[in-house]
Structure formats: structure tokens, C-alpha cells
């Protein structure tokens, strides 16, 4: 449970647990069973089609949900375009020219508005799409609690400060996740999402050329794709073994110093999370169970419910 973190101050922890428990109590796995019984089927169909066309999209949709939830909760704020009243989160350092999948969400939302207008929130679409993406790539399923509403604003400042950077140390990673109510164990499990997807050269160049703890053969294989200058948007897989299949290969890569990002390799660098990496590397079942449980916690981060938000008709703008 996220509320077991010992690195969070007691008073803050009690408040966090209360808020998470209250929010979760207002969400339900059957939220749309009467108001839009085809909702889950429609979302799954849209995700399946997108992932079938491009396997990488599964990782992109999962990441879209993560980057949404880490900034003021799972409220679909990441989908909002800039307005005269606020600058959205799409141009934040961690998102600009990197986050993808907006068009997939647009298509799913359009289908839902045709069958159940004004019923299914963009925040819930993101949460379900993340789960369905993992399943489409061979990973575990989990029960997604529903009933989130959409925010009416977004924050570029918070996106720039709250989303964990690929340059973070282990200590900073633990703090970043702890600030959101996650334990170090949950942080390692969620990092396992990097068993799918790719990263831009600009995200790992520093590790490639300035660090000593990178596998030499692995580094050489990356040099051509990520030169010391230029090619910032060139892509390399986060998991060198099976980047389009959700498994525990990511943790095996860390054991051989093949973590693509500095923050990846920090999980196996002689620190407190080495044992957890070893466990997940040797026991895939434990990893997928812990990952699924952590994703449930992720989806319950400060959701808007009731009159706190709205159901956007268009995920890119406020009604």
C-alpha cells in the first residue's frame, strides 16, 4: 500500500491516506455499466487498433496516463491545449516532442461521444487505455476504478517540477515517488513499465558519454544512433531484449548495466533497490502482480469526482 511509506511526514501521510481513501470510495469499476455499457469495449477496441498498427503506441498510452497522474492527479490535464488563461502541460520538458497518443484518445473520445454523449471522462479513458495497452502487449490486467472527472485547467509549472526526470539519482527517485504516496518498492515496479517503449537520444546521451557504469558493448551499439551531438530525437528501445512485449527483461538489462536512462540504472547501482530488481528479474509473476497493484494506486492519485470537475466533450479543451 502507498500509505505505508516511512519517508513521508506522519501528518502529511495521514492526510494523504484519508484523501486517497475518500477518492477511491467514490470511484467504482462498474461506474458506466448503466450510463454507457459499451464504454470499456469502445476504449479497448480503439487501443487494440492503435497498438496493432504500431506496437510502440502501447507504451505511449501507458506513459500518457503516468504523466497525467503525476501532475495534480489523474484529471486529463495533460490533454488540454494552451489557452489565453493558462499554458498547458504538453510543452513541459518531459512532454514536449516526446509524449504521444493524443490522436488515439481523440478518436476514442469521438466514438464515445457518439454513443454516450457527455458521459465518459477523458481521465477515465486515459486510465483504461493504459491498462488495455499493457494487456495488448502481453502484460497483466487490473481492475480500473472509474468515475473520474476532467480538470478545467493545467499547469506547465507543475508538469516541469513533478514528473521524474531521467537524470534523477536513486535518492531523488525515491523522494519524487514518495511525494506522491508511493513506496520505493512501488517505484521500482512502476519503473518496470520501461520494459516497453523507446526513449529519445536527448534523454540518455549523458549516460552514454559521461558515465562509467554502462555496459561497453551496449554503449557501442548506441553510439551510431545517438552521436555526441545532434540526433536528439533519434530513438532507442528502453528494453534491448523485447521492447514491444511486456515482461521482466527490463530488470535483467539492469543487472548487466544496460539500463538506457541514468534513472533506470540507478535502480541497480549498489543501492537499496538492488534486491527488488533481483527479485523481479528472477520472478516475472511477482513483478507483474506488483506492477498491476501499483497501477491501481497510480490511477487513484487525487481524482476529481462529483462536482469537482467536468466531462469534457473534447479532451483538448474545456467545455
* Catalytic residue set: 67
What is the CATH T-level fold of the domain 11-164+302-308, as seen in this structure? Answer: Peroxidase; domain 1 (1.10.520)
pLDDT at 1: 39
3-state secondary structure of 64: helix
Residues comprising the binding site for heme b?
194
Calculate the CA 188 to chain-centre distance. Answer: 13
pLDDT at 308: 94
Query: What does the DSSP assignment read for 103-161?
Result: HHHHHHHHHHHHHSTTTS-HHHHHHHHHHHHHHHTT----PPPB--BB-S---HHHHHH
Residues comprising the binding site?
68, 71, 73, 75, 77, 89, 164, 194-195, 239, 247
CATH number 1.10.540.10 given to 170-294: no
Query: What are the residue ranges of CATH 1.10.520.10 in the chain?
Result: 11-164+302-308
What are the per-10-residue average pLDDT scores of the chain (319 residues)?
45 48 70 98 98 98 98 98 96 95 98 98 98 98 98 97 97 98 98 98 93 93 92 95 97 98 98 98 98 98 95 98
Query: What are the residue ranges of CATH 1.10.420.10 in the chain?
Result: 170-294
Residues comprising the binding site for substrate?
164
- Which alpha helices (DSSP H) does the chain contain, by range? 10-26, 39-53, 56-69, 102-115, 122-136, 156-162, 170-178, 184-191, 201-210, 216-223, 249-255, 262-265, 274-282, 284-299
* Residues in the chain, total: 319
pLDDT at 26: 84
Core vs surface per residue 293-310: b (16+ CB within 10 A) or e: bbbbbbbbbbbbbeebbb
Nearest Cα to Cα of residue 67 among 59, 117, 308 = 59
Grid cell digits, residue 34: 448503466
Distance, in Å, from the CA atom of 34 to the CA atom of 285, rounded to the nearest integer, reads 35
pLDDT at 49: 98
Query: What does the DSSP assignment read for 279-303?
Result: HHHH-HHHHHHHHHHHHHHHHTSS-
pTM score: 0.91
Amino acid at each position: 500500500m502507498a500509505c505505508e511509506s516511512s519517508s513521508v511526514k506522519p501528518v502529511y501521510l495521514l492526510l494523504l491516506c484519508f484523501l486517497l481513501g475518500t477518492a477511491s470510495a467514490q470511484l467504482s469499476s462498474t461506474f458506466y455499466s448503466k450510463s454507457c455499457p459499451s464504454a470499456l469495449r469502445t476504449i479497448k477496441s480503439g487501443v487494440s487498433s492503435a497498438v496493432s498498427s504500431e506496437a510502440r503506441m502501447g507504451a505511449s498510452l501507458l506513459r500518457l496516463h503516468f504523466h497525467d497522474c503525476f501532475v495534480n492527479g489523474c484529471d486529463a490535464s495533460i490533454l488540454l491545449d494552451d489557452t489565453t488563461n493558462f499554458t498547458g502541460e504538453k510543452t513541459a520538458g518531459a512532454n514536449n516532442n516526446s509524449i504521444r497518443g493524443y490522436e488515439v484518445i481523440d478518436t476514442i473520445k469521438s466514438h464515445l461521444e457518439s454513443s454516450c454523449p457527455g458521459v465518459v471522462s477523458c481521465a477515465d479513458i486515459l486510465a483504461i487505455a493504459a491498462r488495455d495497452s499493457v494487456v495488448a502487449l502481453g502484460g497483466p490486467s487490473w481492475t480500473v476504478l472509474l468515475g473520474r472527472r476532467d480538470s478545467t485547467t493545467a499547469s506547465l509549472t507543475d508538469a516541469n517540477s513533478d514528473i521524474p526526470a531521467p537524470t534523477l539519482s536513486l535518492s531523488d527517485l525515491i523522494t519524487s515517488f514518495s511525494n506522491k504516496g508511493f513506496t520505493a518498492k512501488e517505484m521500482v515496479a512502476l519503473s518496470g513499465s520501461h520494459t516497453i517503449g523507446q526513449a529519445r537520444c536527448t534523454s540518455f546521451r549523458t549516460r552514454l558519454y559521461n558515465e562509467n557504469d554502462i555496459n561497453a558493448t551496449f554503449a557501442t551499439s548506441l553510439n551510431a544512433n545517438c552521436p555526441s551531438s545532434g540526433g536528439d530525437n533519434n530513438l532507442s528501445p528502453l528494453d534491448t531484449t523485447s521492447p514491444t512485449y511486456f515482461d521482466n527483461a527490463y530488470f535483467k538489462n539492469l543487472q548487466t548495466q544496460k539500463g538506457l536512462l541514468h534513472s533506470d540504472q540507478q535502480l541497480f547501482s549498489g543501492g537499496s533497490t538492488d534486491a527488488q530488481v533481483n527479485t523481479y528479474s528472477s520472478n516475472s509473476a511477482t513483478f507483474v502482480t506488483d506492477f498491476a497493484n501499483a497501477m491501481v494506486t497510480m490511477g487513484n492519485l487525487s481524482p476529481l469526482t462529483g462536482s469537482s470537475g467536468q466531462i469534457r466533450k473534447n479532451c483538448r479543451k474545456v467545455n
